[in-house]
């Protein structure tokens, strides 16, 4: 097949930047990485990019295609070429470019190291001196986070990192959850404290681009939500973001709606809210906010309240609630049949279905 590509070339020593066109002959099964190899071997040996495994496991070949991060070795070119599209290939975002498609991964690794990506000692060892067995149900909590290959595609697309380069970012936070949820780690609460500090979980804007672009299904935004839920469960809720999240829960439970008028005082405190009175009055004047008193209650608020009761009754607060939600989604997508539960019928939590009144 004929493949046409546009590649952003960059030379960090001269600052020279140029969009170059390439047209190559490639086998039908070629990936983007194969195409770059052909460009380098047959057309322009000066092109720089990273690669190693060519099988989606080393995480070296992250780059952007048409502005969105991809693993080059996972991206088939056949359909793109057949449609006559000419994709634009560029280096990943949020990391300094060294040359062409190669970025400096040092800031990425600094954040990775900052979350202490190794087990903190101190857990109870089995009395028989043998290995520590962890039940599969327990490992399910961190199954997705353990799939991360450190490719940086999520970091490339993170808009919170664009506004605050110090933000720990989706990869480091997903790795943080991998250890927060590991029953052998003896520093869960200390980790939650650190991950809840400035530049931590509450700086995430919930844009979900990291979930969208991760090539391994890690879903870093979900990992951040799990850390947030577990922090609140442990009483680590000093940050405005935590207070904000708690008010969402409280107002949805009581009215089935977000009680926005009370959101600012509940999140930021009364003193800070009074300072923003002028802004609030302006919003009201322009019909952008209203004072609803008594608060409007949704018609089916009983369902929201029943769900809250169920979560508490089952002890599914913190990350366990998220994991149950993930499993329920899977079951709803693929049909519910508890005879297929791996540890016997009912060994996985039954999904909550809205029509069932608790
Ligand atoms: S959801 Fe949060 S961590 Fe993920 S890309 Fe958006 S801002 Fe970054
Ligand atoms: S979370 Fe996904 S996108 Fe981010 S570094 Fe890990 S594998 Fe790559
Ligand atoms: S070359 Fe290893 S993930 Fe693409």
The residue that leads in pLDDT, 323 or 28, is 28
Q: What is the mean pLDDT of residues 321-326?
A: 83
pLDDT surpassing 80 at residue 294:
no
Average pLDDT over residues 320-336: 77
Please say whether the beta carbons of 170 and 158 come within 8 A.
yes
Cα distances from 115 to residues 174, 180, 197, 348, in angstroms, run 10, 10, 12, 31
Q: What is the DSSP letter of 91?
A: P
Residue 296: HSE in the Cβ half-sphere, 13 Å Cα cutoff: 10
Largest CA distance in the chain: 73
Residue 100 backbone class (left: φ over 0; alpha: ψ -120 to 50; beta: rest):
left
- Token pair in block for residue 249: 């829960």
Indicate the helix (H) or strand (E) that contains 24: strand 16-25
Residues with Cβ < 8 Å from 321, sequence gap 6 or more? 229, 311
Helix (H, G, I), strand (E, B) or coil at 62: strand
Distance (Å) from CA 96 to ligand 1 centroid = 19
Q: What residues does ligand 1 touch, defined as CB less than 6 Å away?
A: 157-160, 170, 204-210, 220-221, 224
Mutational pocket test of ligand 3: of 60, 148, 216, 218, the residue with most ligand atoms within 8 Å of the beta carbon? 60
Nearest-CA residue for ligand 1 atom 5 is: 158
Cβ of 70 below 6 Å from ligand 3: no
Counting ligand 2 atoms within 8 A of each CB, the residue from 218, 219, 221 with the most, and so the one to mutate, is 218
Tens digits of per-residue pLDDT, 207-266?
Answer: 999 999 999 999 999 999 999 999 999 999 999 999 999 998 898 889 888 887 788 888
Average pLDDT for residues 291-299, to the nearest whole number?
Answer: 76
Tokens of 124: 């109870």
156 CA → ligand 1 middle, Å: 10
pTM, full prediction: 0.88
Residue 284, classed as helix, strand or coil, is helix
Q: How far apart are CA 275 and CA 241, in angstroms?
A: 19
pLDDT score recorded for residue 156:
97
Distance CA 205, CA 169 (A): 11
Spatial distance between the Cα atoms of 340 and 331, rounded to a whole number of angstroms: 11
- What is the pLDDT at residue 356? 53
- Helix, coil or strand: residue 12: coil
What is 326-355 written as a DSSP string? HHHHHHHHH---GGG-TTSTT-SPPPP-TT
Confidence of residue 3 (pLDDT cuts 50, 70, 90): very high
The residue among 186 and 355 whose pLDDT is bigger is 186
Q: Are 152 and 92 in contact (CB under 8 A)?
A: yes
């Amino acid at each position: 097949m004929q493949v046409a590509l546009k590649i952003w070339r960059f030379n960090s020593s001269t600052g020279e930047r140029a969009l170059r066109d390439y047209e190559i002959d490639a086998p039908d099964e070629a990936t983007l990485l194969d195409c770059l190899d052909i460009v380098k071997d047959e057309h322009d040996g000066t092109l720089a990019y990273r690669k190693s495994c060519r099988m989606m496991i080393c995480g070296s070949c992250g780059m952007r295609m048409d502005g969105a991060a991809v693993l080059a070795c996972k991206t088939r070119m056949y359909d793109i070429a057949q449609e006559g599209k000419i994709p634009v290939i560029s280096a990943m975002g949020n990391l300094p470019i060294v040359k062409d498609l190669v970025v400096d991964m040092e800031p990425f690794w600094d954040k990775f190291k900052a979350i202490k990506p190794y087990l903190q000692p101190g857990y109870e060892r089995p009395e028989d001196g043998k290995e520590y067995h962890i039940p599969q149900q327990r490992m399910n909590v961190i199954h997705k986070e353990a799939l991360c290959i450190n490719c940086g595609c999520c970091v490339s697309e993170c808009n919170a990192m664009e506004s605050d380069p110090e933000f720990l970012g989706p990869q480091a936070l997903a790795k943080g959850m991998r250890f927060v949820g590991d029953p052998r780690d003896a520093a869960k609460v200390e980790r939650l404290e650190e991950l809840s500090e400035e530049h931590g979980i509450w700086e995430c804007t919930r844009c979900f681009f990291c979930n969208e672009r991760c090539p391994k299904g890690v879903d870093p935004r979900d990992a951040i939500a799990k850390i947030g839920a577990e922090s609140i469960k442990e009483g680590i809720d000093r940050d405005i973001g935590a207070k904000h999240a708690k008010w969402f829960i409280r107002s949805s439970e009581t009215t089935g709606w977000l009680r926005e008028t009370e959101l600012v005082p509940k999140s930021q405190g009364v003193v800070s809210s009074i300072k923003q009175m002028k802004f609030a009055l302006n919003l009201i004047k322009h019909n952008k906010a209203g004072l609803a008193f008594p608060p409007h209650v949704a018609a089916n608020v009983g369902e929201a309240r029943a769900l809250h009761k169920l979560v508490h009754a089952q002890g599914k607060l913190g990350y366990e609630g998220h994991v149950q939600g993930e499993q329920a989604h899977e079951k709803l997508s693929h049909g519910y049949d508890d005879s297929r539960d791996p540890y016997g019928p009912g060994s996985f939590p039954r999904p909550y279905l809205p029509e069932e009144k608790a």
